[in-house]
């Protein structure tokens, strides 16, 4: 019987039982796609990541699958958790790489920044592609899909806008935290808008007071999964950073942070930084479980 080690990490947090949970399986080599899918279904989390070290490429290779069997890629929580695990387990992967640390996810090389190596809580940055704006969604339609009033979506006259770095998500500006907490998405209405306007998830956000540590507070609803809420969504934090930069609200090459998951009781801190090369999304992860997978 073959066995593999697995870990469950809380991602985009430095505290256990907060953030976005993610199983990571250390495979030692590439597996058959059907086996990845079966394991991901068995875990049942929103995503399960798999990683192994490629000697020929001198890089960590990461793949990630949803319980339904769909493979996901890009610099989101599925990648951040795997990279943090490699650092926490002192796999000595990134210190020997030339021209800066990187990882390969689904055959794409993604640049990283790795700090606090060897410490209890590593801090990892992942470079997403430059943000691109897409369709805008009518305020009235968006308000109805979120169970809100149109005035709840009034913020600097910004429109709900599809933004993409890794994945196309809809950025939905809300007037205040009270409106953010009141949002109750209608799954069918949200799904119809996502199909019609070309986005995967809905990232509702509002601006915080200037004296708070975080610039933004947000909630994410995955329209592809019945409007299920997520505690931390790296693939949406990058587009949000791009949206705010394009609106002139944040400055290039300066790091900002956002708070997500409060309503779920799983607060998460995601950091973003807009640069000419793309959007850096950063955070930490902690291990909460580990075990043996029997195949």
Q: What is the pTM of this model?
A: 0.95
The answer to whether 3-129+282-294 and 132-276 have equal CATH topology is yes
CB burial of residue 200 (10 Å; 0-12, 13-18, 19+): middle
Please enumerate in sequence order all residues whose Cβ is within 8 A of that of 185, keeping only pairs 6 or more positions apart, or say none: 145, 146, 147, 202, 221, 223, 227
Rounded Cα distance, 92 and 168, in Å: 34
Phi-psi region of 20 (alpha: psi -120 to 50; beta: other; left: phi over 0): beta
Mapped onto helix, strand or coil, the DSSP state of residue 78 is helix
| Domain parsing of the chain, residue ranges | 3-129+282-294, 132-276
Please count the other Cβ atoms lying within 10 Å of the Cβ belonging to residue 73: 18
The per-residue pLDDT string of the chain (295 residues; one tens digit each, 9 = 90 and over) reads 799 999 999 999 999 999 999 999 999 999 999 999 999 999 999 999 999 999 999 999 999 999 999 999 989 999 999 999 999 998 889 988 888 999 999 889 999 999 875 567 899 999 999 999 999 999 999 999 999 999 999 999 999 999 999 999 999 999 999 999 999 999 999 999 999 999 999 999 999 987 788 999 999 999 887 889 999 999 999 999 999 999 999 999 999 999 999 999 999 999 999 999 999 999 999 999 999 999 9
Write down the architecture of domain 132-276 according to CATH: Roll (3.10)
Nearest residue to 193 via CA among 246, 138, 152: 138
Q: What is the dihedral of CA 262, 263, 265, 266, to 10 degrees?
A: -50
Which homologous superfamily is 3-129+282-294 in?
Diaminopimelate Epimerase; Chain A, domain 1 (3.10.310.10)
């Amino acid at each position: 019987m073959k066995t593999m080690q697995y870990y469950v990490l809380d991602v985009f947090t430095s505290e256990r039982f907060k953030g976005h949970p993610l199983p990571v399986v250390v495979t030692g080599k590439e597996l058959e796609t059907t086996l990845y899918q079966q394991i991901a279904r068995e875990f049942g989390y929103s995503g399960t990541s798999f990683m192994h070290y490629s000697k020929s490429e001198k890089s960590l290779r990461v793949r990630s699958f949803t319980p339904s069997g769909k493979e996901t890629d890009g610099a989101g929580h599925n990648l951040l958790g795997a990279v943090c695990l490699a650092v926490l387990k002192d796999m000595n992967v990134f210190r020997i790489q030339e021209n800066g640390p990187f990882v390969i996810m689904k055959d794409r090389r993604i640049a990283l920044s790795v700090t606090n190596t060897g410490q209890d809580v590593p801090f990892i940055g992942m470079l997403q592609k430059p943000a691109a704006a897409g369709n805008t969604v009518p305020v009235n339609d968006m308000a109805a899909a979120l169970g809100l009033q149109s005035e709840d979506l009034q913020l600097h006259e910004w429109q709900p806008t599809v933004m993409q770095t890794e994945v196309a998500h809809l950025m939905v500006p809300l007037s205040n935290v009270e409106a953010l907490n009141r949002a109750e998405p209608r799954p069918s209405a949200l799904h119809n808008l996502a199909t019609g306007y070309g986005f995967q998830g809905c990232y509702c956000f509002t601006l915080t007071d200037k004296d708070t540590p975080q610039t933004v507070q947000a909630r994410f609803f995955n329209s592809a999964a019945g409007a299920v809420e997520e505690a931390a969504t790296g693939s949406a934090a990058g587009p949000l950073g791009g949206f705010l930069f394009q609106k002139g609200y944040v400055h290039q090459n300066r790091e900002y942070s956002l708070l997500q998951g409060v309503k779920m009781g799983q607060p998460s801190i995601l950091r973003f930084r807009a640069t000419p090369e793309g959007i850096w999304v950063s955070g930490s992860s902690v291990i909460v479980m580990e075990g043996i997978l029997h195949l």
